[in-house]
A and B are shown apart, each in its own frame.
Chain A
Amino acid sequence: MVVAGQELRDLWLGGRALLLTLAFSLLLSVVSYLVATNQALNYLEQRESVSLTLKVAVAVGALLSLLAAADTISGERERGTLESLLVTPVSRQRLVAGKLAAVLSLWIGAFAITTPYVWYLGRGIGVVGESLAAGFVVGTLVAVFLASLGVLVSTFSGSNRISLSVSLLLLLALFAPTQFPTGAQQGWAANLLLRVNPITAGEHYIGKIVVDDHSWSHDTWWLVSPALGAAVFGVAAIAAARSISLRGGSTS
């Protein structure tokens, strides 16, 4: 808790988190304005507009967590503050858990910013509550997964540049299937890939709830990989804390 509190102060009062959320809100403003005013999109379906905005919010909100997470250990190492951090009377696992909790506050902030946009786009068709709830559940799982992945990469990276590059490369690889044309998403192999990838599975689940008006239990299988990804990578990030070294890379 102490570590999380300190990290939260650094992140938010230091101004970094506020600048990231400002950029996030600008992006969401542009997306929601285009969605609301673009006749073609507006004409098609209001639910699609809510779903699109929510998916962008979840993806970029989770990206913010990853960016901050990629800096957690390698950043301290590069700034020369890791040594003093490691000699504090706090276990390394608690240190990483605290940093992870602070990083996840970026997603919570992003979600709070998303709420008025979703409310505006979804009002009148009765999807606001359901959309926000689905977005929060999926976004939290994806954010935990990506933040843990970022912390893991940061733990073993020699420099912040490497940590950020590897994290962004992994993120792009995970997001790539969302850009597949509909035809390429058919067949068992493509379906398996979409289900196994926590990001594509989570975004698919949001679409099912918001656009298709499915019940929460109807497509629960799509939530398995985001939940599993969050749990496995969360535990792995905290377990890997034992390997934190001053020079980067594994201590073993």
Chain B
Amino acid sequence: MTRLVLLVLVAATFWIVPAASAGEVVVDIDRTLVSPSLGQSFSFTTTVANHSARSTGPLVAHLNILSLNPGVYVDPEDWSSDRTRYLDPIPPGGSRAVRWRVKAVNGGSLAAYVTVVPRSGKGIPATGPALRFDVASRRTLNSGGILPIALGVPAGIALLVLGVRAQRRRRSRSFSLPV
């Protein structure tokens, strides 16, 4: 009988007590500053820890990237092709490391941060510390730079066309010369 009551109590505990909310989930990052050059890839690791006494439900970790200054367009899709990760439940006191790979495609001062949301969509998202990165701006696209190529390549081919035509004319003239 006692065993039965105990079993019912344990079952009731599991039924009533919800999984740890995202508010009890803490996101940490292995570094907060990085200085990549334009085009360079870099990685960082975030740790999603469950500080509660209950297991979390399934979680979703999402990486976001933004510019710290106005006037710089940032499309996070371009920076990282794998920005959303689906995590299995984390046991009480447990943690899960998630590695993110980012490629610096724009110059400027930017920041990346990871937010963890329960897969149920309910609860408060947990956000980790921001990783700041300063990418040295280098404008490689400008009219002055492209002009030598834009004019030079067609000009080179046009010269080739003229050369071939001149040679053909010379050849046809030598064939038509009276012997």
* Residue from the list B81, B140, B142, B161 in contact with A22, Cβ < 8 A: B161
* Proximity bits, A3-34, B CB within 8 Å = 1, else 0: 00000000011010011011001101110110
CB A209 to nearest CB in B, in angstroms, measures 11
Given A13-B168, A46-B105: A124 and B154 interface contact (C-beta under 8 Å): no
| CB-based contact A45/B81 at 8 Å | no
Main secondary structure of the interface of B (DSSP, over half): helix
| CB-based contact A43/B73 at 8 Å | yes
* Residue from the list B106, B143, B149, B154 in contact with A26, Cβ < 8 A: B154
Q: Which residue of A lies closest to B138 (CB)?
A: A124
* Proximity bits, A161-185, B CB within 8 Å = 1, else 0: 0000000000000000000000000
| CB-based contact B38/A125 at 8 Å | yes
Q: Which residues of B contact A26 (CB under 8 A)?
A: 154
| CB-based contact B146/A37 at 8 Å | yes
Find residues 163-222 in chain A having any chain B CB closer than 8 Å to their own CB.
Answer: 211-214
CB A117 to nearest CB in B, in angstroms, measures 6
CB B159 to nearest CB in A, in angstroms, measures 10
Q: Which residues of B contact A32 (CB under 8 A)?
A: 146, 149-150
- Cβ-based interface call for B160 (8 A): yes
* Residue from the list A18, A120, A213 in contact with B81, Cβ < 8 A: A213
CB B171 to nearest CB in A, in angstroms, measures 10
- Cβ-based interface call for B4 (8 A): no
| CB-based contact B39/A125 at 8 Å | yes
- Cβ-based interface call for A247 (8 A): no
CB A25 to nearest CB in B, in angstroms, measures 4
Given A37-B142, A116-B153, A212-B81: A45 and B168 interface contact (C-beta under 8 Å): no
Cα A238 to Cα B40 in complex, Å, equals 47
Q: Which residue of B lies closest to A211 (CB)?
A: B78
24 A–B contacts from the bound complex (CB under 8 Å): A15-B164, A18-B157, A21-B157, A22-B158, A29-B151, A30-B150, A32-B149, A36-B142, A36-B143, A36-B146, A37-B143, A43-B73, A46-B141, A47-B78, A47-B105, A113-B153, A116-B153, A123-B140, A124-B39, A126-B39, A127-B39, A212-B81, A213-B78, A214-B81
Query: Shortest 3 CB-CB distances between A and B: which pairs?
Result: A126-B39, A29-B150, A125-B39
